[in-house]
Amino acid sequence: MMSDTKDPAEHPLSSAANDGVEAFKRLNKAVYEGQKPPAGAYAFFHHNSHAMTALQDCNRILKRLFSGRALLTKLSHEERRFMPQDWPAGTPLPEEVSKVINRSQDATEFMKLDFESLYVFGGVLLDQWALLAIAIGNIECPKQHPFRELVDVLDENRNTVLSPLWTAIKNDALWLYYQLRFYRNRFVVHANRPWQRGTTRSVYGNDFNLFTPTPPGWLDDEALDAEIKSLMHLAPDRIRNARDDYWEKARPKVLFDMIPQFEKADRERISRLFGRKGGSTPDFATIGRRLLRMISEGTEHLTSIAEANLTTIDLGRPHSTSDEMWNRRQREERKG
């Protein structure tokens, strides 16, 4: 029922989202008051507004996800309470049990949809935020894939005005680069090959994951497993030293989860392998927490950098300011 999924006023990450909104406001104020540009449609201030809107959209999605997860736990308790003991196999379940199961399946699909939406709108947020960083750092790049381009520049060039930013956000930025941006592109938006699309969760906990493995037989499983084993020297000791048939040795997820600590060449190998094998995402709360933390803390650093480099910020000047448009209109009216 719709009342079961009504968004609560707050959720565990509300304060982090609010911190991000306030950080965007401070950044906007610092740049506007520092430069005092003539009135007009400057790209920087529009990107700041778009980023704030995307952040608020992610916050709304997270509200629904936390609410939906609470509903799934509630329904699991109801199913257990209503389920008869020693019910004969092959006999239809009582109507009240079937209703709970159907509601649980529906709630799961809503959560899957919302989680995938978090990947999409989280990507929008990262790109809009990156355009602000690119402007403040006055970085020359195509701006076709802003977050990817920004991460590539900062990861390869430590001698920019944005170096303090990279030092602060590197781990979260690289993690989101692969966990959010790569996963969104490979498994959510551009699913151009067979995948088994599902979800996983504990019965009564707070976790909920997307699970997208490769169907058995679609690829050469033995060759794929050999590639995974070739990367196991990068895994933690507990996995390297485990017996050969230990399940995590057959999955690249453990390496994908710790991907920021590797050099770029290894990161790319791990992501390509995960992109072929597939697997489980982190739970939605982990993705939300790291996304909101990077946005909030990163924007605070951008504000400090902007205040120290006001004259070099690329505001993205419009073709015509408001005064220029008004003067042109006045001249045309006098001619007429």
Residues in the chain: 336
pLDDT > 90 fraction of the chain, expressed in percent and rounded:
74
Distance of CA 254 to the CA centre of its chain: 19
Residue that has been written with the tokens 């977050």 in this structure:
147
What amino acid occupies position 319? Answer: H
What is the average per-residue pLDDT within 176-183?
94
Per-residue confidence band for 29, with pLDDT thresholds at 50, 70 and 90: very high
> Could you give the 3-state DSSP secondary structure of residue 239?
helix
Per-residue confidence band for 86, with pLDDT thresholds at 50, 70 and 90: confident
CA distance 294 to 202: 28
Pick from 133, 130, 138: nearest CA to 177: 130
Cβ atoms of 88 and 39 within 8 Å: the answer is no
What is the average per-residue pLDDT within 90-117?
94
Report the relative pairing of strands 198-200 and 209-213 from DSSP bridges.
antiparallel
CA distance 211 to 331: 63
pLDDT in tens, 231-241: 988 998 888 88
What pLDDT sits at residue 90? 85
How is 67-134 classified by DSSP, letter by letter?
HHHHHHHHHHHHHHHHSPTTPPTTSPPPHHHHHHHHHHHHHHHHHHHHHHHHHHHHHHHHHHHHHHHH
What pLDDT sits at residue 64? 97
Per-residue confidence band for 143, with pLDDT thresholds at 50, 70 and 90: very high
Most confident of 107-116, 157-166, 178-187, 201-210: 107-116
Per-residue confidence band for 9, with pLDDT thresholds at 50, 70 and 90: low
What pLDDT sits at residue 2? 40
CA distance 272 to 266: 10
What pLDDT sits at residue 7? 46
CA distance 254 to 234: 10
Cβ atoms of 17 and 292 within 8 Å: the answer is yes
What amino acid occupies position 61? Answer: I
What pLDDT sits at residue 3? 42
Rg (CA), the chain: 24
- The angle formed by the CA atoms of residues 223, 228 and 229, to the nearest 5 degrees, is 95
CA distances from 105 to 5, 14, 76 (A): 13, 27, 11
pLDDT in tens, 245-266: 887 777 888 899 999 999 999 9
What the block records as the tokens of 294 is: 């990077």
Residue 1 has pLDDT above 70, yes or no: no
User: Is the pLDDT higher at 208 or at 252?
Assistant: 208
CA distance 273 to 182: 12
User: Is the pLDDT higher at 269 or at 85?
Assistant: 269
What pLDDT sits at residue 247? 78
pLDDT > 70 fraction of the chain, expressed in percent and rounded:
97
pLDDT in tens, 40-74: 999 999 999 999 999 999 999 999 999 999 999 99
Residue 302 has pLDDT above 90, yes or no: yes
For residue 98, give every residue at least 6 positions away whose Cβ sits within 8 Å of its Cβ, in sequence order, or none: 92
Per-residue confidence band for 5, with pLDDT thresholds at 50, 70 and 90: very low
Residue 19 has pLDDT above 90, yes or no: yes
